[in-house]
Every structure is written in C-alpha cells, then in structure tokens.
Amino acid sequence: MNDIEKARAILRANDRGGYTVPTDRLYPFQWNWDSAFVAMGWGTFDEDAAWREVESLFAGQWDDGMIPHIVFHAPADSYFPGPEVWGTRHRVPTSGITQPPVLATAVRRLWEKGNDRARADAKTASAYPKLLANHRWWRRARDPQGSGLVAILHPWESGMDNSPAWDDAMSRVPTDTVTPIVRRDTGHVDPSHRPRQIDYQRFIHIVDVLRACGWAPASMWAKAPLKIADIATCSILARAESDLAVLAARFGTPAEAAEIGERARAMRAALSACWRPGLGLFASVDLIAERPIDVPTSAGFMPLYADAATPAQAAALGATLDRWAKMVRVLVPSTPPDWPGFEARRYWRGPVWAVVNWMIADGFARAGDAPRADRILADTAKAIAQSGHSENFDPLEGSGGGGGTFSWTAAIDLLLRDRVA
C-alpha cells in the first residue's frame, strides 16, 4: 500500500456510515472541526463521502444555528463525557458547546473543486443557509456587544483544550463538580500525552455551570466562569466569513453577501488590534479579566489565515517562526520550548498538529511568504512520513503522540498531496 492509499484507508476505516470518527475508541463520535478537515480530505478522492460528512454534521445543528462540537450519532462507552452528561434536548444527541467553525471553508473548497458541477451546486445550495445561520449564531451568541471578536466559554470550544494560554483564566475556575468524572481517554493513550486530572475537574465544572443554564446562550454568556476571545477561533471564523461571502454571491442574496462581508471586515480589524509586539504574535483576550493573554502559542500566527495581519505584522510573525524553528525539529509547536509551560508530548502544550500547520502555512502563503509556508508543510509531511498519521507530533523528535490512525492527520496528508499533484 502506497502512502496516499494509507491515508485514504484511515478515512475508510474510521467511517461509520456517513460520518468519520477522529480515531477508534478514543473519539468514537463526530467532532465539528475534525469533520470539516476530514470532508476536505474525502473530497480529494470521494466527493460523495465528503458531502455525507458535511450533511452528517448538519444533522446535529440546533434550531438557533449552533453546530455542536460533538454529535452522538450512535452509542459508545469509550468516551467521557457522553450525551448523558451534556443533557441537551436536541433531536440528535449532541454536546451543548461548539468548536472552531471551519465548515464554510470546507464547503467552499468542495464546491470549487467538485468534478460534478450539478451535484456540487446542489449540495452547496443546501448547505449555504445552514452555514449562514451558524455564522449569525456566532455573532449573536458570542459577540453580543459587537466587539468584532467572538468568545469561547469552554476550552474545548477552542479545540486547543489545555493550551497554556488558558492557564491563568482556568486557575480561577473551581475544581468541584456535580458530575462524577470517569475519564476514558487515559485508558486509550499514554496519560502523559493528555490533559491532567485537575484540568478535567475544571472542564467538567464549566459543563455543570452551562448545563444549569439550560444551554440558553444569554444565560451562558452571563454565568460562564471562563470567557475568552480566542485568537484562533476568531481567525477561523473571519476566514470562514470570507469564504461564506463567496458562496453568498452565488447562492444567497445581495443583502446577505453585504452582511457577511461587513462581519468579515469587522473581525479582521478587531484581530489586527490583538497584535502584541513583545510576543511577536497575536494574542487572545481574557474577557473576564479584561486583559490580553501574553502567552506564545501557535494560535498567535492564525490571523494570517484570516488575512488580518498587516505587512509589518506578517514580517514579525515570520521572524517569530524563524526563532521557533531554531528550537525544534518540526514546526509549528503549539507552544515554543523556551516557554515555561512547554511540554513536548502533552496535548496542546507543545506538540505539533497537522491541521494547525495547514492553516498557518496557508496564512503565510496568503501573505506572500511562500518559503515559510513551504517549510511548515514540508515539516508536516516529514513528521507524517516518520511517525504515521498520529494525532500530533513531538516537535523535538518528530515522534507521534496521542491517538493513532487519526482522521484529520490523514486528511491533511491528502490535502498536501493534492496541493502538489
């Protein structure tokens, strides 16, 4: 089996009949941003599977437009917290929080690259109003004051669960829980690769608080013990708004296209203002403490992906990347090794993630910096060649960490190959 067939085989093995699990046992359901990347990976060789992935994710969309971070299509006992902990009342069991909204970007790619134009048009026409409802939800539920930056109310919403950027804000979250914690993750992978027990106590405390709000957005906004304008989530949404604007020009109305374009412009302006010269990066904002989070993470490069960095900021980001490159074997570490919170193998405290690399590289390419974009993608390909389609990679050694045969890593491998085909 050649390398491209290995990546395709992972998606096929993780397919559960219309949706793709991130990896067997460790993550047995459908995850929001995972599926967006996976749909793009499917799209390189099986467009029907790609559109089924999108449609399966939409099956979990709430009436208010939110797309949850997990859709529990079928029972499984290998993951905590399951649907009984979330206690949502959607027609399909789901979690009560969301994840970075990559989906509009994925749908635009599937539409533009589709070989069957009639099918691509029909599928995109069906997806467009659902994407519009989701983006409106983000603005309404997570930026009620119109700042231009949307907030996450749980670290899981960022996708970067235990990032050192959340340490200070999470230290203020109580560790007591109503829900008994029965972790399953450490039975599937090395516990040293996973968030710590105290992290889970705080994760579940927040779930308890938000569940007590009945998952009502206004109540959640008022009572959430954590509220952060995450620079990565905001960048992903800003990029998705620009992609949705392209779809609106074909499948929406002029008024919708104008509305989406205005949101995208406001987000880019707000993101540019999050620049931190001392870090040489952009930074998230702790909305409860009302201060920037001056912690260097890979998320700090993400405004490039949203076309939100000025030329001077893009040049400074390049210099930061060059400095990090001297400390690692594989770019881009989720936290640089010279930061006190760095851990080379522990989830989002150091490891390299193929999906983040793909977005950061795309950002450098959009800024006209092809050499740095190519370096990041080459490092990604090198890590996959060395260690397979692992969940993440040790930036110092290139060895794989977390779960194995991981769907979104396989998808990125396919996108890398599609890029040079």
Catalytic residue among 161, 259, 307, 394: 161
161 is catalytic: yes
Among 20-29, 45-54, 351-360, 361-370, the range scoring the smallest mean pLDDT is 20-29
The DSSP secondary structure of 120-164, one letter per residue, reads HHHHHHHHHHHHHHHHHHHHHHH-TT--S---BSSHHHHS-TT-G
- The residue assigned the tokens 């089924």 is 52
pLDDT classification of 77: cutoffs 50, 70, 90: confident
pLDDT of 344-391, one tens digit each?
A: 999 999 999 999 999 999 999 999 999 999 999 999 999 999 999 999
Beta strand pairing call for 70-71 and 30-31: antiparallel
Catalytic residue among 343, 369, 391, 413: 391
**pTM exceeds 0.95:** yes
The DSSP secondary structure of 263-295, one letter per residue, reads HHHHHHHHHHTTEETTTTEE--EETTTTEE---
Provide φ and ψ at 230, rounded to 5°: -75, 125
Nearest-5° Cα angle at 235, 111 to 46: 25
pLDDT of 123-174, one tens digit each?
A: 999 999 999 999 999 999 999 999 999 999 999 999 999 999 999 999 999 9
24 is catalytic: no
